[in-house]
Structure 1
Amino acid sequence: MLNVIIGIVIIIIVIYLAVVVYQRTQLKRANTMSTELSRLQNLSLTEQIQQVKQLTLTGDSLIKFKDAQQSYEQVHQEQFPAIAQSLTAAESDAKGVNFLQTRDDVDTAHAQLEKAATTLDQVQATLTNIQKMEQDHQQAVVDLETNYQKIRKTLLNDNRQYGPAIDALEGQLSSLEDTFADFSALTQQGDHQNAEAMLGDLKKATTTLEQKMNSIPELYEQNHVQFINQLTEIESAYAKARAEGFCFVDDDFAVTLKELHQAVQDNLENIKHLDLDFVREQDNEIEKRINALYDRLEAEMKARLFVDKKKDVTGQFIHHAWKQNQMLLAELDRLSHNYSLEHGEIENAERLKEQISMINQKYQYDCQLIQENQAVFSQIATDLSQFNQSLSNIEKKQRALNDSIADLSEEEKQAQQTLEDLSAELHAIHRRIENLNLPGISSDYAEYFDVVKNEVKHLKATMNKAKISMDDVQKQLGQIKRDRDQLQAKTSDLIDQSLLAEQVIQYANRYAATNPQMAQAIRKAQEQFERDYRYEDSLATIATALDQVEPGAFNRIEESYYKNKAHAN
């Protein structure tokens, strides 16, 4: 029981302490708001209200000022007393135990205090804004009036630089001055809200007018002076060029110049109506077309200088190429009686002749155009460049063609000498075989020797013809040389095999009496040598038998043979 009582007491104490803490918290809030209330009460806007009240206000500005003044008086007369009453009630309730009522009183006072503070801020902002607009508008009146006087003075003193735009500029200035008068009147009347709305448009329109005045002199100068001077210059240059014999492809100079003169006049009209963006767009197009005319004139002038420099040189080049071609054709005709020209030499020379003739025809036509003052020099310059390039290529081809036939006679002499050398080689080979005093030669070797001999004979017949085909001659020479080389190899083998066979048989005879197998091998080798003329087989038979009786003997004999042969050569 005692514990229960103690627990209840503790709970009561805790609740009491909590209430006390809460009440003190609320009381602290109330004290803070009392301090804030005092600050707001001391924040006097009366002097600022009196300053604004001294201004001559009308319209929306006057209405906003009266509303602000009324709100200020309402805060002081009604809201501040209500806030003080709520804070007093909160302090009184905080001394009791009705903490809920204390909280309500504090919350009410807080809401009232925030509302009053917000109202005062709005009142102060309204008053400051009215004062600032009044100052800004008074200054704007001075600045704009000074600016308009400056603009009018500029238009009066420098009106020539604005050309046809002067009337429109003065008209826009007069319109701005009328609007400015209305703005100035509203400012003097104190209707600053409506004056502020008008001021933005007035500044923007003034800036736009100044920008136009800055742009127009350059645009007017370009159209009234520069373009006119350029067109006059082009007209003069064109007339002079035509008088000096110049012609132009699709000659539309007269039409284009007329169109450009009209475009310039139209653009001056656009300047008159202050349509400056369109003026700039048209200026770009006019400038582009004028530059194109200049470029065409300059191109023809440069082309004529090139033509004057290259025309005679090209004519000489054509004459040189023609003469070269005639000499080439004459040489081909002479050679065709003795040689078969099998690579289209004559046909190629004739085609080059046709090309030179066509170039000459075009060249003569261009010269006639120049003489008759009908030449488009840029086209003729292109023709001359192409002529010279084509003639250079023709010259290279004719030189290569001439080189290809220039050595035919020398080639024939060399072929004849080679043929004689081959005949001598065949004779030497025949003598070498005869000097061996062999019992005979194999049919294979004899047939191959006859093949080479007949090839030489056939080549002699070919070269004795009235008209020689050097292609055929060179082809036969190539084949004969290859077969000659093969015959030389076969001859060397025949000589080496026969001589070695004889030496080995002679060496092996020392074993014939004591070795029946060796005696039999010697007989077989001699039969292959003397009866069948198979010298390679004879050497193989006796070499094998000798190595069985005396290993290494054949290698010594063979090495000695080739060593002696090398010394002999």
Structure 2
Amino acid sequence: MMVYIVIAAAVIIAAVIIYGAVFRRKIYKDVDLLEKRKTMIANEPVAEEISKVKGLIMSGETEEKFEEWRSEWEEILGVHLPDIDEALFDIEELANKYRFQKAKEFINGVNYQLDDIDKMVKTIFAEVEELVNSEEESREGISELRERYDTMQKFISQNWRSLGETANIFEGRLREFKETFAQFDSETEAGNYIKASHIIKELSNAVSEEEKRLKQVPILLVEVDSNLPKEIEEVEMGMSEMETDGYRLDHFDFHHQLKEVKKELPELKKHIYQLELERVEDRTKEIKAYLEHIYISLEQEAEARLFVEEKTGLVRESLDRLEDQLDELASEREKVEVSYRIPDEENKRQLETAAGIEEQVKKWHVFEDAAIHQKLSFLGMKESLEELEKAVKSLQKDMQQSKEKLYMLRKDELKAMETLKKQRRQLLQDKLSLQKSFLPKVPSSLLNELDAAEERLEAAKEAIEEVPVEMGKVSALSEEAEQYVTKVHQQIQATMRQAKLAERAIQYGNKYRRNSETVNKALLQAEEHFRKGYYDEAVNVALQAIEEKEPNAVGKISGE
């Protein structure tokens, strides 16, 4: 049992020794790192950096900063870093005594202290750089500003008259700038370079603003004194010429507004002398935009006059035609209503169309009155005419749709009427052809067919004219009439062809009459048939007699 106790105690002691060795080694390592950081800080070229300001005027702000930085660096080297050396020694002592927790606290404290020192060093570097750069930038900046100052002074001297009352103001501003230059020189000589740098920045902004104003003033004075009055005068002259040509411009507010603008120009000039330049510039832009608006309006008024003169008569004619078409539509509607039922939506459309036409006629009278008594500008009249024209086109479209609807209702009837007209013309042409053929006699059968065809046409016509129309009956009678007319046409053509053939055959056979009594008798018989209108019989008798003398005569006679 005692053996186990001894072994356990030995293991614990060994573990403690190993643990102590490991942690002691780690603390030594941390101390080495802290030593390196301290050495790096001690080796920073702070003194060299501070010495850069010795080239500047060592007084005032510069001298104060130099002493402050030197004091801080000496304190770091003489106090803070030695304190850190002692702290590092104490950390090693604590580690040797196995007081690792306390050693760790010291390490953290040293780390924080080194961080603070590092920040102090960096601050010194940054402030030195700022001071040196401020001196350099100020030196370059003041040189440029003096040149700009001289340029402004020269500009004022050369443009004294064009600057007007502002010349004295600008001179006063330059005197203030001169005082600022003196203040800059004073701060620089006192070694206050940072203050001098701030003066330079403020002075640079002020000079830039003054340069801008110097350029603006002459331009704005020319605008207010010369350009704008001239442009207003040109606009007024243009308006006067248009009024002489018959334009009524009192519908616009141009005369009054231009009068107000002219009154405003002296006030704008005062604002320029008070250097309220942005305000004046904005207002001159507004005035120019308004003058441009007047030009555009006058141009539009002239174009509107041409439009009104061109379109007035056309719109009036369109309205008259629309009223006539409405009457025609009403007449057509009355006819259709007798035989057909018009749909409710069509009735509604026609009523709306009639009301629309009435409304547009009223508007036309209003327009006409305004035009005669010049109650509107041409632009106003143009707008009224455009509205009228648009409305008329819409009503014409509605009217056409109504006509098409009524036409569709009467389509079969109209088709039947057209068919009858066509057949009647055909029958008339056939009768004229018979008359021109000078036939000795028209066969009675053909006359009967002609009468029958005319009766069918008349029956179909009466059926169409019946009220109400019975389209089934009309279609049947129209079809029958067409068949009869076609049949008669074919019979008339055939009769005239046979009559001509009989005439040619008799004439051809005359050369055999003296030599053949048989032929002579046959031809006399054929002539008798021809006079009675029996043309088929006349052809047959004549050809039969001729073929006895001349077998191939039929082909010759038919081909003549």
Q: Same fold (TM over 0.5)?
A: yes
Please name the residue that 1:12 is paired with.
13
- CA 1:379/1:2 → structure 2, altered by over 3 Å: closer, same or farther? closer
What pairs with 1:22-421 in structure 2 (closer than 5 Å)? 22-91=23-92, 106=107, 109-158=110-159, 165-213=166-214, 215-216=216-217, 219-250=220-251, 252-306=253-307, 376-378=377-379
The AA in structure 1 aligned to 2:30 is R
Q: Distance in 2 between matches of 1:220 and 1:228?
A: 12
CA distance in 2 between partners of 1:27 and 1:363 (Å): 109
TM-score by structure 2 length? Answer: 0.56
Contact 1:228 1:261 in 2 (8 A): yes
Structure 1 residues 5 and 276, CA gap change in structure 2 (3 angstroms):
same
Q: Distance in 2 between matches of 1:359 and 1:89?
A: 111
User: Would you say the 8 A contact 2:31–2:107 is kept in 1?
Assistant: yes
Matches of 2:207 and 2:360, distance apart in 1: 76
**2 CA distance for matches of 1:483 and 1:34?**
127
Q: Which runs of 5+ in 2 are unaligned?
A: 332-354, 407-413, 422-458, 481-560
User: What displacement does 1:75 show?
Assistant: 1.6
Displacement of 1:259 after TM fit?
A: 0.8
1:82/1:235 CA distance change after superposition, 3 Å: same
Amino acid at match of 1:50: S
> Structure 1, residues 430-450: CA drift from partner, whole Å, max 9, x if none?
xxxxxxxxxxxxxxxxxxxxx
Confirm or deny: 8 A CA contact 2:47 2:70 kept in the other structure.
no
One-letter identity of the residue aligned with 1:38 = T
SS of 2:251 mapped into structure 1: coil
Q: 1:475 aligns with which of 447, 467, 483?
A: 467
C-alpha distance 10-264 of structure 1, shift in aligned 2 (>3 A) = same
Cα deviation for residue 8 of structure 1 reads: 0.7
1:263–1:286 Cα contact (<8 Å) kept:
no
Query: In 1, are the aligned partners of 2:61 and 2:190 still within 8 Å (CA)?
Result: no
Deviation, structure 1 residue 5? 0.6
Q: Which amino acid in structure 2 is aligned with residue 198 of structure 1?
A: I
Moved more, 135-144 or 299-308: 299-308
The offset of 1:285, in angstroms, is: 3.1
Alpha-carbon distance in structure 2 between the residues aligned to 1:210 and 1:95: 76
Displacement of 1:233: 0.6
Secondary structure in structure 2 of the residue aligned to 1:139? helix
Does structure 2 conserve the Cα–Cα contact (< 8 Å) formed by 1:86 and 1:105?
A: yes
Q: CA deviation at 1:158?
A: 4.9
SS at match of 1:475: coil
In structure 1, give the amino acid aligned to 2:48: E
Q: 1:2 to 1:208 in 2, by over 3 A?
A: same
Aligned partners of 1:138 and 1:187 also within 8 Å: no
Q: Is the 8 A contact 1:130 1:192 kept in 2?
A: yes
Change in CA separation of 1:168 and 1:196 when aligned onto 2, cut-off 3 Å = same
Displacement of 1:308 in angstroms is 5.7
Q: 1 CA distance for matches of 2:18 and 2:96?
A: 14
Matched with 2:344 is none
Deviations 1:335-361 (A, max 9, x none): xxxxxxxxxxxxxxxx9xx99999998
Q: Which runs of 5+ in 1 are unaligned?
A: 333-350, 405-410, 419-459, 464-469, 489-569
Residues 384 and 483 (structure 1 numbering): CA distance in 2 closer, same or farther, change over 3 Å?
Answer: closer
Deviations 1:318-343 (A, max 9, x none): 9x98xx98xx99xx9xxxxxxxxxxx
1:484, CA displacement in angstroms?
A: 10
Residue type of the alignment partner of 1:68: W
Corresponding letter in the other structure for 2:26: T
Q: Distance in 1 between matches of 2:19 and 2:278?
A: 80
Q: Deviations over 1:77-124 (max 9, x none)?
A: 222332233334444565566656755665555454444333333333
Paired AA for residue 36 in structure 2: T
Q: Distance in 2 between matches of 1:131 and 1:482?
A: 119
Q: Deviations over 1:508-563 (max 9, x none)?
A: xxxxxxxxxxxxxxxxxxxxxxxxxxxxxxxxxxxxxxxxxxxxxxxxxxxxxxxx
Distance 2:161 2:221 in 1: 10
Instruction: Tell me what 1:539 maps to.
Output: none
Counterpart-to-counterpart distance in 2, 1:386 and 1:100: 99
Distance 1:28 1:294 in 2: 90
Question: How far apart are the structure 2 equivalents of 1:49 and 1:246?
Answer: 86
Closer, same or farther: CA 241–133 of 1 in aligned 2, 3 Å = same
In structure 2, relative to structure 1, the CA distance for the partners of 1:308 and 1:74 (3 Å cut) is same
- The CA RMSD over aligned residues, in Å, is 5.5
Asked if structure 2 preserves the Cα contact closer than 8 Å seen for 1:133 and 1:192, the reply is yes
**Could you tell me the TM-score, scaled by structure 1's length?**
0.56
For 2:301 and 2:30, the matched residues in 1 are separated by 98
**Identical columns (%):** 19
CA distance in 1, matches of 2:106, 2:472: 137
28 and 233 in structure 1: CA distance in 2 versus 1, 3 angstrom threshold: same
Partner amino acid, structure 1, of 2:37: E
